[in-house]
Structure 1
Amino acid sequence: MSAFLLGTGFRADMGTCIRKLVLLKLIDACEDDGSRIFPAIATVARAAQCSDRQVQREIKGFLDIGLLSLVRAGGQGRRSTNEYALDLDVLSAISKAGWDAYAAGRGFNPKGDTQSPLDEAAKGDKTGPDRVTPETPKGDTGSPPTPPDPSLDPSIEREREREADEGKRAESRETLERRFWKMARGHPQSSGMPKQGWLVEWLKLDPDERDRAERRYPAWLALLKAQAKSHIPALSTYFGQKLFDEVADPQEPEKPLFVDAAPFGPMWQVARLKQLMQPPAPLPPPPSGFLRQMLERQDETGEAARRERQAKLGWPRVNVMHDRAASRQGVTVATALEPLAAMMEAVPVGSETFEAWKLEHELRGWPWLPDPGRQPVVYFPAGGPGALSAFEQAVKQGNEGNTDDGGQRQAAE
């Protein structure tokens, strides 16, 4: 449970008591940064004292409005649930503005309960293992859905028609908001500030103005910082007063020295193997007792014990990479490794080549990969373990002038 977020959740006006109870139950299950939410629908329904279907509707509304994001979809079975994360900026904005105001600012207008009857006669809950409302004499007859609303937001539709009539480039509301939030989340005044006004001003711009505002935004921020401005205007001012026209288009950026490498990808694997091809770190003295006796044996069992211990302790940076990859986090690596990444190939998880690489790691005393989860392929040097010598030679030739492969920067993150 995140006691840190409970206060924000209690203060938030969620519009309905059920919606608030569902939110509080999700907060009860999350970390302080809003991550690692694994809600079982039935568990949330019991806590909020509502039906399973109602919980599903509320979670869908949270996803639509941006309060929740789906981190990983669950599989099949009762114990395999989706993983979600709360957006703390959205939670803070809802806490200050209220659900209805925030939803209106984002053009969110849910159609309501599609399973509710059109007449006033209560028919009870039809879904879920545990009924919440009492069964009526008529029972559950499967009422017709709520009539469809032909327009979620007529004003937005009129705006789109106007732009189409004028021959302007049309973009969906979802695309426009995605571009807006990419700028808003990185703004110096972003933390804890309501952003509905910012979004309104962004939507008022025409397509060419949006392009300029987005393209010149980093240069505008850099100019204000260079001028040592004590106050950075809000994005609503930046858009509304068209301050983006006060700066020139940025020059073509130079190639970055470092890039983010996704776990199990070619750049990630190059950085990992490059570390493993270095001599292992000095190992601490072996412990006393049975393990020491195993390590001192001069037979196959002793050799296997020494390789296992070396794999666990010999390459600390690789172990850090493995820990991050287990949480689906990458590392920062030097772009100078890109030629080596071109020597990699995709190896399907569980294939003969994949198992051959696993055996090669065991023979060399290298730590093996963490569980790739749903990752279908993992990158290794092309040609399998038998062609590893060519990759090792390329690594040795590329060592000069390349002092960082993600280890120190990764630790700094």
Structure 2
Amino acid sequence: MSSPRFSIIPAWIVTDGRMKGSDLKVLCLLGTYTNKEGWCRRSQVKMAEQLNCGRSTVQDSLNRLAEIGAVEKQKVASADGRDSAHWYRVVLDRAPISDAFGAWEAEDQQEFGPISGDKSGTPPAGRPAPPAGPRPAPPAGPRPAPPAGSGPAPINDSNLTPPVERSEREPGLGGEEEENPRALERRFRRWWATWPTYAVDTETTARRAWLDLTPEQRKACEERTADYLATVKASGRKFSKAAATYLSERAWERLGEKDMQHSGQAPEPYTAYSRAGRGLLLAELLRPMRQLQLNKVEENIIETSPEKGGMIWRDKREKQGWPEAVKLIETTVQRRRFHVPQRVVELSKDFDKVKVGSDIWEAWQRLHFRRCWPWLPAPDGLEWMQFPRIVAHGESEADLDDAVERGLEEFAGRLNEGRGDDDAV
């Protein structure tokens, strides 16, 4: 038996941003071996051999494809209770309307099936006969009626209609069809990228809440989310609302006219080299560290070389423990600016200028190292950086380390004044 020549996969998945690594290769491999109904029974070990990768890579891709909605899995248990090769179905754009299958079957029967009965149009068993009498004439219109014949009626299924024509034929829809899954996914991805907690939030839950909104609510959400975020920042409150909570509560609807006017005022942007920018950076670093877990590679390295555990954990904390702080540092290094809540601007006005490379500058660097905090590098030519004011007693390293710890604690105390436990850093 010759090898299959084609692979059938849904076109929308090719540009989906959730695809990773070998996902597309695994999907194409499944699409190569699908049967007439779209199902394929394939061993993960065999797929891994064909793709020249590990079985775990194939398994991860299959799980991700199932979560995205591109593949449906059907488990199969062997007689002795152990897992056997599963059935997989490549999910195409969407299920066609129920009448379409009947029309396709009728068309196949006419072209390939045996000739039986007379030409009077006797319906197959199990299907109701058409009502007696002449067929009603089609409604008048600019297009000529199709020629009469004994074959099945043309299939009017939007799955077979090109998107451009479909948008022209479906009244009430804009340029992007509201119920088009790909259009909704693109809009969700654009909105998701603007949400402050997206790096640590649950994307699947947020997407489900997004799809639960009505078209009008989604549009209002897109238009007013920026106003909502600006209002929260201007108030100086800690931002911790999950995206799914924001969407399900429709929090943007609670913005009053006063809030809208306030959010319309564009605050001055800063970098982390400024007093206000350093204040916001420290405020983010003073938040609890994000919960971290080692991946398989890191676990294997530590198991083989335990002495590398400290280095691996430090690197992980510095890069992933405080994602919002890392984002502020990256923004500054890329010579871009960000907005700072007015309350933080006020609290950081008394920060001191510290000469780059000085003993105090190095003391602040040691504080960051002790806490596994990411450090903002000083670019060439930058002479001064801003830090909370300290009162140094003595000039030894221990004295300076103690002074910067107390200076940071004093700033954290002022940052938390007048705020409840839920808002505390």
Alignment TM-score, normalising by the size of structure 1: 0.32
